[in-house]
Structure 1
Amino acid sequence: MDHIVEPHVLIIEDSKSIVTELERRVSDDLGFTCECAETLAEARQLISASSERFFCAVADLHLPDTHDGEIVDILREAGIPTVVFTSGIDENLRKAILDKGVSDYIVKDGMAVTHLLDTLDRLWRNRGVNVLVCDDSRSFLEHTATVLRRRMFTVRTVSNGQDALDLLERESFTVAVMDYAMPGMDGLTLVRKVRSIKSMDDLSIIGVSSAENETLSVWFLKAGANDFLNKPFQIEELVSRVELNVIMLERLHKLRELDAVRTKFMGVVAHDLRNPINGIKGFAQLMLESGDELDKDKVEMLTIIRDAAAGMRGMVDDLLDISVIRSGRLQVRCQTTDLNTLVRKRISMSRFEARRKNIELDERLESLPDVPADADRIAQVVDNLLSNAIKFSTPGTTITVSLLREDGQAVVTVCDQGPGLPKEEQRLLFRDYHKGSAAPTGGETSTGFGLVIVNNVVKAHGGRVWVDSEPGQGACFGFALPME
């Protein structure tokens, strides 16, 4: 049925109200095309005209011209997957319709239409999902494959662990069902080997076994399986476990796609904001430097506009950097770099902001051999640490900037005499969007991105970052870069 490009559903139901509701909901909610029959005879006509156009049928067992479920046999002969829609079911009826090879059965209750829509949507989506079943029992392979194919999965089967491993290396699967007791390589060993090439984000593994070992499920999960089933299991149990794992991966991949779109959007917006912000800042500066007679109030307003634009430009630059980091495009171009000169220059450029708050910058810089580093990116790191220290330091205090060699690494630290940080906050500082409880002492703004950028840039150099702080005793931020 791979040739079907538009989902058509055949609804066979003698209740006009149910048909109307199903036709409306299937069309509106799922976008599927419906064709309806109220009798067995009408259904025969639609099926004989062109059964291939239907990807699925929804069938009531009791129709005016038949009451013994004959419609299910007709649909099976036509090769149309069927969902039985019945007003009641007992164990005998359940077994009978499952033996006929239906895709599912749904009882007409208050949630029946919602459940039916979910089932149809799931069946349509399953057509693009590959499932691997690995077991040395031919009967189990055939039974499991048949059950899953009724749910429209594409199923591949192998009888030993090595074949499963080889197939997973060559082809893409969403779920793998793996038995424990197999010759050559047992299921636990297979799971461990698979996890070395496929993460839980890429493949869900369901372990199965008939062994009477109460802890086997634990060992499967510890080895890297997502789920476990004891043999023998019911058809519905297998289907539910497989589909829940498929749904989990689908939602994970959807979240990743949405995150990528958000990151791209954030980068585009930030990039487009740069020019107008630069224009505002530039024109304000030109007016301040024009030589025109400006009264005190105008000078103050222009200064506020210029400084606000500069702050906004800093935020935009942070957003662009975060966009690059989140998209995996952060690159560092390492060249031999004199860290002593670089750090001293960044301190010099920060002195104006420090003087505005009556803060002293104390340099303690050793002369070190040149290190391999991206000078622009490391300058950005130092600027972020200095800016944060000035932002959170109390006026009249001192910030100490140190550079030294330690254990074959160049170590830079920026230590302030601010309010410090509680231990529970320190481990969160280098995460996205986190802002600590401490407030800037001069009303400065913060995006919460600065330390995230610092962390990612330093790690891209093969280095590390840290913070050492106690409440009321200031904070010391540091990073270390390999000397070679």
Structure 2
Amino acid sequence: MAPSQFNFEGFKILIVDDTPANIEVLQKTLEVEGYNISVALSGDKALKIASRFAPDLVLLDIMMEGMDGYETCRHLKNNPETADTPVIFISARNDVEDVVEGFSQGGVDYIVKPFKSQEVLARVRTHLQLYALKRQREVLIAELEQRNKDLVSLNELKNRFLGIAAHDIRNPLSSINGFLELLTLSGGSFSKKEYEEMLELINKSVNDLLVMVDDLLDISVIESGNLKLDLKPGDMKSLIRERIQINSGHARGKDITIHEDLHDLALTVFDRRRMAQVLDNLISNAIKYSPLGGDVFITLSGEGGQALIGVRDEGQGIRPEDQQEIFTGFQKVGARPTGGEKSTGLGLAIVKSIVESHQGSIRVTSEVEKGSTFEVMLPAGEASANPA
């Protein structure tokens, strides 16, 4: 970018000189460019001002009482906050040794007094432009480095995604293929009961496969940032009861009792399909990890202008080191389903994304061998006084 195209207005310049007349001349020279000017009459004051003013360039006299310009420059360069700030020395000392010393202390340029205004403006413009371009380059490099890290992470995620998908999908496919081969080769030798049992197992494998595919598709949508919500006012209590009913067959199969304590709430705005997905995941997980003949407790209440949904089981619990990891996706923690149920490890990551898209939050409290409680908080009206 040519200097004529560069916008210098607003750049901050610190002028350091113990002679007020010199400062006044420099200030008037620079103000025509629209610079933001600050001044200091000593090296000590310059260091204090620089720490809060954060100048883009320093014009520094050498011969000053107390701390001279060379020492002031050393301090500026030793401070990480001002180490990269360009320093231009302006001095009546014009010996080669003085100029060399100025550069050795970290100065980027050296102007000899008496100076010409146009020379000062030209040198200031040049070094501000170089400084700005350097900062832009550093920002660009930082962005590229971050993008590279993101790409590496995404590649690792993709590899994990493909590995888990291949492994988890292969199992039900193998079961389906095995049973179909048996049925094909049997020549009708199986009894009606055996035939129905095989069809039931094939159906279960197909359903497991569909759940896995749905989870993989959902996490793909979420990771791409394309999760869309159809938000409408709705009755959270009726939705919870509906999802309990839908999951009751799973619970009966393990002789698990589901206990309800659901309060009436004002209408809550939510995406019914996505919140059904959240509830199904939490309820099915509670059943999945509960012992045979156990209990699951589901609550709904109003708390501080929020709807608070709780799902508690008395199962194996979650180790403290796993309690945050379970929401990140592709996690297979220590607890295992008590009925041999399948899992992609994606469910809670999907739940967390859906809940947070509703401006809500989810948390877990758990103790190993005593069970877990998942609590979902969503913006809502206050609960009524009476539970159902």
Structure 1 match to 2:323:
426
Report the CA distance between 1:424 and its aligned residue. 2.2
| 1:407 counterpart = 2:304 | yes
Aligned counterparts of 1:372 and 1:191: Cα–Cα separation in 2: 47
1:79-478 counterparts in 2 under 5 A?
162=11, 183=37, 210-213=73-76, 216-217=79-80, 231=106, 249-254=143-148, 256=150, 294-478=191-375
Aligned counterparts of 1:314 and 1:305: Cα–Cα separation in 2: 14
Aligned counterparts of 2:215 and 2:52: Cα–Cα separation in 1: 46
Q: Do the aligned partners of 1:191 and 1:220 also contact (CA within 8 Å) in 2?
A: no
Q: Do the aligned partners of 2:259 and 2:298 also contact (CA within 8 Å) in 1?
A: yes
Q: What are the superposed Cα offsets for residues 107-137 of structure 1, whole Å, 9 maximum, x if unpaired?
A: xxxxxxxxxxxxxxxxxxxxxxx9x9xxxxx
The number of residues matched between the two structures is 274
Question: % of aligned pairs identical?
Answer: 33
Structure 2 match to 1:481:
378
Q: What are the superposed Cα offsets for residues 297-336 of structure 1, whole Å, 9 maximum, x if unpaired?
A: 3322222211111111111111111111111111212111
Q: Do the aligned partners of 2:319 and 2:366 also contact (CA within 8 Å) in 1?
A: yes
Aligned counterparts of 1:460 and 1:424: Cα–Cα separation in 2: 26
Q: Do the aligned partners of 2:50 and 2:82 also contact (CA within 8 Å) in 1?
A: no
Distance 1:350 1:248, change over 3 A: same
Aligned counterparts of 2:374 and 2:225: Cα–Cα separation in 1: 25
Q: Do the aligned partners of 1:340 and 1:366 also contact (CA within 8 Å) in 2?
A: yes
Report the CA distance between 1:404 and its aligned residue. 0.9
Aligned counterparts of 2:331 and 2:157: Cα–Cα separation in 1: 17
Structure 2 match to 1:199:
none
RCO greater where, 1 or 2, for CA within 8 Å and sep 6 or more? 2
Q: Do the aligned partners of 1:340 and 1:403 also contact (CA within 8 Å) in 2?
A: yes
Report the CA distance between 1:231 and its aligned residue. 3.3
Q: What are the superposed Cα offsets for residues 2-35 of structure 1, whole Å, 9 maximum, x if unpaired?
A: xxxxxxxxxxxxxxxxxxxxxxxxxxxxxxxxxx
Q: Do the aligned partners of 2:362 and 2:377 also contact (CA within 8 Å) in 1?
A: yes
Aligned counterparts of 1:219 and 1:416: Cα–Cα separation in 2: 57
Q: What are the superposed Cα offsets for residues 336-372 of structure 1, whole Å, 9 maximum, x if unpaired?
A: 1111110001001101111111111111111222111
Q: Do the aligned partners of 2:51 and 2:81 also contact (CA within 8 Å) in 1?
A: no
Q: What are the superposed Cα offsets for residues 412-466 of structure 1, whole Å, 9 maximum, x if unpaired?
A: 1000001112222212221122232111111222111111111111111111110
SS of match in other structure, 1:429: helix
Aligned counterparts of 2:82 and 2:238: Cα–Cα separation in 1: 56
Aligned counterparts of 1:363 and 1:403: Cα–Cα separation in 2: 9
- TM-score, structure 2 as length reference: 0.58
Aligned counterparts of 2:83 and 2:315: Cα–Cα separation in 1: 51
Q: Do the aligned partners of 1:468 and 1:475 also contact (CA within 8 Å) in 2?
A: yes
Distance 1:462 1:212, change over 3 A: same
Q: Do the aligned partners of 1:263 and 1:326 also contact (CA within 8 Å) in 2?
A: no
Q: What are the superposed Cα offsets for residues 165-222 of structure 1, whole Å, 9 maximum, x if unpaired?
A: xxxxxxxxxxxxxxxxx84599877989xxxxxxxxxxxxxxxx9451476216889x
**AA in 2 matched with 1:320:** L
Report the CA distance between 1:469 and its aligned residue. 1.0
- TM-score, structure 1 as length reference: 0.48
Distance 1:255 1:313, change over 3 A: farther
Q: Do the aligned partners of 2:257 and 2:293 also contact (CA within 8 Å) in 1?
A: yes
Aligned counterparts of 1:477 and 1:398: Cα–Cα separation in 2: 15
Q: What are the superposed Cα offsets for residues 253-288 of structure 1, whole Å, 9 maximum, x if unpaired?
A: 345467779999979xx9xx9xx99xx89xx9xx9x
Aligned counterparts of 1:455 and 1:191: Cα–Cα separation in 2: 42
**AA in 2 matched with 1:216:** N
Distance 1:264 1:187, change over 3 A: farther
Distance 1:300 1:477, change over 3 A: same
Aligned counterparts of 1:407 and 1:339: Cα–Cα separation in 2: 17
SS of match in other structure, 2:342: coil
Q: Do the aligned partners of 1:260 and 1:327 also contact (CA within 8 Å) in 2?
A: no
Q: Do the aligned partners of 1:419 and 1:474 also contact (CA within 8 Å) in 2?
A: yes
**AA in 2 matched with 1:231:** G
SS of match in other structure, 2:265: coil
Q: Do the aligned partners of 1:418 and 1:474 also contact (CA within 8 Å) in 2?
A: yes
Which segments of 5 or more consecutive residues in structure 1 lack a partner in the other structure?
A: 1-129, 133-141, 143-155, 165-181, 193-208, 222-229, 288-292
Aligned counterparts of 2:233 and 2:136: Cα–Cα separation in 1: 54
Root-mean-square deviation (CA), in Å? Answer: 4.5
Q: What are the superposed Cα offsets for residues 370-424 of structure 1, whole Å, 9 maximum, x if unpaired?
A: 1111111111100010111111111111000011111111111000001112222
Aligned counterparts of 2:237 and 2:298: Cα–Cα separation in 1: 11
Distance 1:259 1:191, change over 3 A: farther
**AA in 1 matched with 2:80:** S
Q: Do the aligned partners of 2:256 and 2:296 also contact (CA within 8 Å) in 1?
A: yes
Q: Do the aligned partners of 1:161 and 1:184 also contact (CA within 8 Å) in 2?
A: no
**AA in 2 matched with 1:253:** R
